[in-house]
Amino acid sequence: MIGQFRTIFTTILVFFLLAGCAPTIVDSNLQPQQAIYENQPPDVMSDIQKELVTVTVQYYGFDGVRHQGQVVIHKGLEQDIKKIFNVILEKRFPVESVIPIAHPTIQKKGPYGLSSDTNNTSAYVWRPIVKSHKLSLHALGLAIDINPRLNPYIKGNLVLPPNASYNPLKSGTLVSNSPVVQEFKRLGWEWGGDWKQGTMDYMHFQKIDKKTEAWIQTYRND
C-alpha cells in the first residue's frame, strides 16, 4: 500500500514539474532600497545609484525548477532585461542564480559581496575593470554577467572564476548561436565572447547607447 502511494505521489509530482506548475523557488525578493543601497562600499556614488532599478525575473535553474531572482540595472535597460529573461525562461536556458550583490547570500562570499569565485548572474556591482582603476560598466549598471563559472573571463593565463573552463557543449554555456546571445545582440548589446584582442569574456554583456554615452564619460574619464 505504501509502495503504491509513493508511486502515485511521484507520478503527480513529475506531472506538475512537466506542466510547469511546481512552486517557484524565490532566490531573491529584496526591496529596491535594499538591493540598490544596502551593503555597498563607502565610495559608491549616490547619483549613480539613483539611476538604478531592480527588475524581478524568472528562470529555470539547473534543478529543472522555476526560480525567481532580481537584477539591479540602469533604468534605461530595464525593458531589455525583461525581454532577455523572457527568452531565458521560454528556452529553459539554465541559470544558477540571479541575486543582487547586496543580498546576504552574496555578501557572505567576500567584502561587500565581491568575489571572483561565483556562478551567480548579476549586473550592478560597484567595482573597477579587472586589473584597472577605471570603473567597470557594472558599476554603472550597464553590464551583466551570466553563469560566470560556465562562461569565464579569459586573458592569457588569467581565468576568472578560478579553475573555470569554457565548454560550448555544456548546459548553461553561452555560444554565438544561442537564443540568449542572439536576443542580447538584437537589442543592441555587445557580447564579450566576440572580443578578439586577447581577452574573451563569455559571461559578459554590455550596452552603451547615445543616451548613456555622455553620462558614462562623466565617471570614466581617463
> Looking at residue 197, what is its pLDDT?
80
pTM: 0.88
Q: Which three cell numbers stand for residue 64?
A: 529543472
Query: Which sequence spans correspond to the domains of the chain?
Result: 22-211
In the chain, the N- to C-terminal Cα span, in Å, equals 74
pLDDT tens across 111-123, in order?
888 887 889 999 9
Query: Is it the case that residue 175 has pLDDT exceeding 60?
Result: yes
Confidence of residue 211 (pLDDT cuts 50, 70, 90): confident
Average pLDDT, the chain: 90
203 vs 8 pLDDT, higher one: 203
> Looking at residue 6, what is its pLDDT?
59
- What gap in Å lies between CA 159 and CA 136, rounded to an integer? 18
What's the mean pLDDT in 80-100? Answer: 98
What's the mean pLDDT in 1-24? Answer: 59
Which range (19-23, 88-92, 149-153, 203-207) has the least confidence?
Answer: 19-23
pLDDT tens across 31-56, in order?
999 999 999 999 999 999 999 999 99
The pair phi, psi for residue 13, each rounded to 5°, is -60, -45
Confidence of residue 10 (pLDDT cuts 50, 70, 90): low
SS (H, E, C) the chain: CHHHHHHHHHHHHHHHHHCCCCCCEECCCCCHHHHHHCCCCCCCCHHHHCCEEEEEEEEECCCCCEEEEEEEEEHHHHHHHHHHHHHHHHCCCCCCCECCCCCHHHHCCCHHHCCCCCCCEECCCCCECCCCCCECHHHHCCEEECCCCCCCEEECCEEECCCCCCCCCCCCCCCCCCHHHHHHHHCCCEEHHHCCCCEEECCEEECCCHHHHHHHHHHCCC
